[in-house]
Structures are given as structure tokens and as C-alpha cells.
Structure 1
Amino acid sequence: MKTQQIAQPLVLGSSSIYRHELLRRLQIPFEVYNPEIDETPLAGESPDTTALRLAAAKTRMVAVNYPGALIIGADQVAVLGGIQLGKPLNHANATQQLRLIRGKEVVFHTALSLLNSDKDNMQIRLVSSRVKFRKLSDQQIDNYLDREQPYHCAGSAKLEGLGIALIEHIVSEDPSALIGLPLIALVEMLTREGVEIV
């Protein structure tokens, strides 16, 4: 497989192996840097605004170490009826989240930012996906959590893995957004920066 070469270094500001795997689909060389930022929503901040702010903050943090690079940042916030669903971090919280969302529709707001740190030019985009969850029994929830342990996933469902079995249907303009990196939007952004993927 021949890899496309690009003029500027490309850096993905994320520790997520799933975002790494998604970006590899574009067959362009990239580096990875994990920006450690506080992901706590600000008081009165809407979920989509939180996602956009955090995606932009990640690119800015990476830019300190990568001047002259193209830097990708992404963040995702899950929302149920106006309630923001954060990362559960443990089994008890994940159980509570999945019991709350079973049989309901959750909106996943995925924010994507691309910063050209050479020109200080940032592009940012929000891609929202609507996900209807199946009416899961308590036993099904326990079975899922025992097998997948998605404690660092917003909404407690790792949709790139076994979590897909929890879903009744999905409505999204970009299926990769649900996994955390909207590739359709990213290709458009890279094209504006002179990077042709194909």
C-alpha cells in the first residue's frame, strides 16, 4: 500500500486508538500527541459548545509542541434530553447510564478541529448523530459491561465494538463521527489546506 505524502507534518491530538484507526483509513502519515486537558463542561455551557471548545483546545495545546504542523483535535459529548452524559469512568456509573438511555434516543455531538499552526488558521465543525438504543434488560446491560468495559466512552457504549449490539438505529451524515473522528468533514478540511487525499 502506497502512502500519500504531505508537505506539513500531520498530528492527531488524541490518545484514542479508535481515532488512530480511523485516521489510518486516509492513508496519510501522521503523528500522535495526547493533549491532557480538563474536559469538565463550563457552567451553563451547552453540550455542542462543550464539544467544540474542547476540540479547539486540544489543537491549541498540541500546537505548542508542533509549530508548523496541521493538527487534528476532536471531542464528543453525548446528550439525552438536554442532559449531558459524560464518561462513566466506572462500572456503577456505566450501569446507571445504560439503564437511563435504554429505549431512548441519544444525540452524540462530535466536534472536529483542524489547526494549521504555521498560519494560525483553524477550521472547526460539529457533526451530530442520533442514536436510538434498544430496550435492554438489566442482564443484557451487565453482560455488555462485563465484556466491553466502556468506561471511557461518553454514554457508556463503545459503538466501534460490541456496543453496536445495543443500537436500534442511527441517523448521521458521517458514520465515522460516531466513533469519534468525522472523516468526511476532515477530508474537506484537509483539502482546504492543500492536502489532497486521493
Structure 2
Amino acid sequence: MSVPSLPRPLVLGSTSPYRRELLQRLRLPFEVEPPRVDETPRPEETPALLALRLALAKAHEVAARHPGAVVIGSDQVADLDGHPLGKPGHHARAVAQLQEMSGRTVIFQTAVAVVCRDTRFERASLVPVTVKFRQLSLAEIEAYLAAEQPYDCAGSAKVEGLGIALLRAVESDDPTALIGLPLIRTCELLRAAGVPVLGSSLP
């Protein structure tokens, strides 16, 4: 399949290798630019609003440096009864997160934003994924963490790997959202921004 030429450069504003791999599935040429954004939650900010705000902030921060480009920003926050669970960063926090999620339902709030400064295009969307975790023993948690070391994943859940064994069920309208970039919604936003996904700029 030939790679279509784009009217504007496409930039993924992310440091995530998972989002980069997902966007590559669309076979569009794009660059990757790390966003410089403070991801600290604001007081009383819900996980859904946090994910949306950060996705837009990442897209805008990168778009400020690439005003002629169409920029994609994305963020994911694990939502446990309204409380955000971010990236654990280290082993002890990952164990605590997984013990807290054991046997419970978690909503992974995945947001995507597309921004182009030159055309003043800005649109963002939230794709929630409902995930039901199995009852997890400490031995299972330790085995999973040893195998995957998912310390850069929201809620310690690396479902594209062995993390799938932690789950009882997943409910979503966009199957790639749980990995970090909802491609169905991303395609919709790119078409709206004039990016010719599948060689057409029609929505």
C-alpha cells in the first residue's frame, strides 16, 4: 500500500512508544515530538477532565512549535471510582495500584486531541474503556510486574502484553483506546482536520 502525501505535516505529540506504534497502523507519514506539559492533576479534577485537558495541552504545546502541522495529543487516566490512577513510576506503587484494582471495575479515560494553529482547528474527544479486573493474588501481581514492568502505563495495566491475563472483561467502542490511542476516533478527527486518511479528506 502506498503512503499518501499529506497537505500538512502530521506530528504526534507524545513520548509513548505505544501511541507511536498505534499511529503507524494508519500508514500515514508523521513525526514525533515530545510535549513539554506538566501532568499534575488539578484539585478536584475528575479523571475524564484531566485526560481531556492533558491531551489538548500536549497538542497545543507541540503545535506552538509546529504551527503549520496537524498535531495529535493524547492522554490516558485510569479512573477508579472517580479517583485518578496515573503511571506508577516504580514497583511499589504498581503493586499498590494493582491490589487496589483487584476484583473491581476501572474506567480508562483515554482522550485524543487534534490541533492545527494555522487553520485554527481544535477538536478533542474522550473514549472511555470499562475494564473489569479479576481477583488478583500478590503472587500473580509480582509475576506480571516481573514480566512486563509496566511502570509507564496508566494504572500499571499493559494490556497489549501479559496484562490481558489480569482482566475479566473489556468494554469499548474503540478497541485501541485501552492501549493509549483510540484510532477510530483519531481517524474521525484527522479527517475533520483535512488529513486524507485512506486517501480522502471527506469525513
TM-score bracket for this pair, using the shorter chain length: over 0.9
Which residue matches 2:142? 142
Which residue matches 1:114? 114
In the alignment, the residues of structure 2 paired with residue 175 and residue 37 of structure 1 have an alpha-carbon distance, to the nearest angstrom, of 27
Which residue matches 2:13? 13
2:182 alignment partner AA: P
In the alignment, the residues of structure 2 paired with residue 149 and residue 92 of structure 1 have an alpha-carbon distance, to the nearest angstrom, of 11
Residue 36 (structure 1) shift: 2.3
In the alignment, the residues of structure 2 paired with residue 53 and residue 11 of structure 1 have an alpha-carbon distance, to the nearest angstrom, of 19
Which residue matches 2:48? 48
Which residue matches 2:130? 130
Residue 196 (structure 1) shift: 2.6
Q: Root-mean-square deviation (CA), in Å?
A: 0.9
Higher mean C-alpha displacement, 77-86 vs 170-179: 77-86
Runs of 4+ with deviation above 4 angstroms: none
Which residue matches 2:172? 172
Which residue matches 2:182? 182
CA contact (8 A) 1:71 1:117 kept: no
In the alignment, the residues of structure 2 paired with residue 146 and residue 97 of structure 1 have an alpha-carbon distance, to the nearest angstrom, of 15
In structure 2, stretches of 5+ residues that fail to align are 199-203
What percentage of residue pairs aligned between the two structures are identical? 53
In the alignment, the residues of structure 2 paired with residue 81 and residue 150 of structure 1 have an alpha-carbon distance, to the nearest angstrom, of 22
Which residue matches 2:201? none
* Secondary structure of the structure 1 residue equivalent to 2:170: strand
- Listed one character per residue, the Cα deviations across residues 98-151 of structure 1 (whole Å, up to 9, x for unaligned) are 011111110000111000121121010000000001111110000001111111
Residue 194 (structure 1) shift: 2.2
In structure 1, stretches of 5+ residues that fail to align are none
